[in-house]
Amino acid sequence: MKNLRHIPTITIEKKCKKLINSFITTLSITFLILNITSESCAFDEHERSAPLTPEEKIADWIKPTLTHLTPEIINKKMEEKFRGLKLMDHNGKWVNPAFTSIANELIPPLEKEDLSDFVDNMARIAADNPYLHKVLVKIMGSDLSHLNTKTREEKYKFVPDAIIFAKALDNLTYAARRHDGILEASYNVWEERQKGIGIWRVASIPFCIKFFSVRYPLSRAIDSMRCGHIQENQFNSILPINILEATLFDLYKGNFGNAYAGWQLAINPPGMKYNPITGAGPTKLSKDGKACQLYMPFCKSWNDLYCSWNLGFVAGFSKSISLNYISKLLIPSVNDYRETPSEYIFNRTFALYATLNYEFTQSYESDSAVKSVDEFDYSDPAIIRCFDSVNRENAINYREKVQGRSNHTTEHA
């Protein structure tokens, strides 16, 4: 053992200082970790004690229906959806090389947790819509105990299928916006199929009217993107006509508040002269040329009202319309328009046309790969009344914003 007297004093001081500094650093890190952990626990406790939003309650109502799904079941059902869309054949092969090249985007490996996250994401995005949120708050304040009893068994039978369709449609809509050729390849598949069958001969008149009133603007959009030029007033007439089709049905059903919301949407179309106050203006192509951009007055608020109005319209159909028509309004590829509100209608048009083709496959072709989910009676007079009364208030709010009588007139498209 070395004699300490032979060790220079300065060396001992350095070692002591190093030891003390090391001890202080370790102690500081320990306190920091304990502090962060304490704050995190307090935050988690606050989160747990915070009341759930209506959107979160709906997500929590849906997610238990997904717990039985294995990756194999999900993959099989995703393939069924794309077969129903006629983009994949019965042997599991994509019908166009454009789909083959992005197969992992269209049908990625998925687990039930991924679908639960997908539902949570739809709920978070929906909560960003103040008009829809206001409706849902009122619905949650209504007595729906009889509806819970009525739908408890049905939801486990039908909701998982609707969520998986929503995921497949979301993947396809994202791909159509991001990748060259996907939108046109999808459209061409559906065009060839409907010409071969003759939809007018086998489908109902209301279905045919809706089908072709959506097909026409989508075909014009594809033509515009192909040639790299779009008319400034494009969609100025066809979009209001589409809205008024549903508005007339609302009037027929006595849903006058929802009809008034539709009217406000219809009289504030895209394709007008540029207005620096409201952000309204002529229709454009996106910079990458892969989307049409529509500028309605206060575009984000217009979209918010449209989503709330359209859900109110769909709620009035009950058994006569599939759950898929609801999910196509709420998928992130359509409903997450905060960054680019001008592309909402373009993405929604594609998603709706895809849904119409899928529903045609289910309803009118004997070799359909998927059983229909339109037996699920999700409608209720109380829910319809909530949409009707609140959407009237929402429409008045939007009207006053456009007319300059609202305090919130700083939004731009």
- List, in sequence order, every residue forming a beta bridge with 284; answer none if it has no partner: 293
Q: What's the start-to-end Cα distance of the chain, in Å?
A: 80
Tell me the CB-side half-sphere exposure of residue 309, using CA atoms within 13 A: 29
The pLDDT score that the predictor gives to residue 321 is: 58
The pLDDT score that the predictor gives to residue 34 is: 36
Which residues have a Cβ under 8 Å from the Cβ of 66 and sit 6 or more positions away? 112, 115, 116, 119, 160, 163
At 53, phi and psi to the nearest 5? -75, 165
Give exposure, 225-248, as e/b (b: 16+ Cβ within 10 Å).
beeeebeeebbbebbbebbbbbbe
Please give the structure tokens belonging to residue 382.
Answer: 């109380």
| pTM of the full structure | 0.83
The pLDDT score that the predictor gives to residue 203 is: 82
Please give the structure tokens belonging to residue 232.
Answer: 């400034």
The pLDDT score that the predictor gives to residue 152 is: 65
The pLDDT score that the predictor gives to residue 144 is: 62
- Nearest CA to 129 out of 358, 361, 375, 310 is that of 310
* DSSP, res 88: B
The pLDDT score that the predictor gives to residue 406 is: 56
The pLDDT score that the predictor gives to residue 374 is: 47
**Segments in the chain below pLDDT 50:** 1-17, 19-20, 22-48, 320, 367-374, 409-410, 412-413
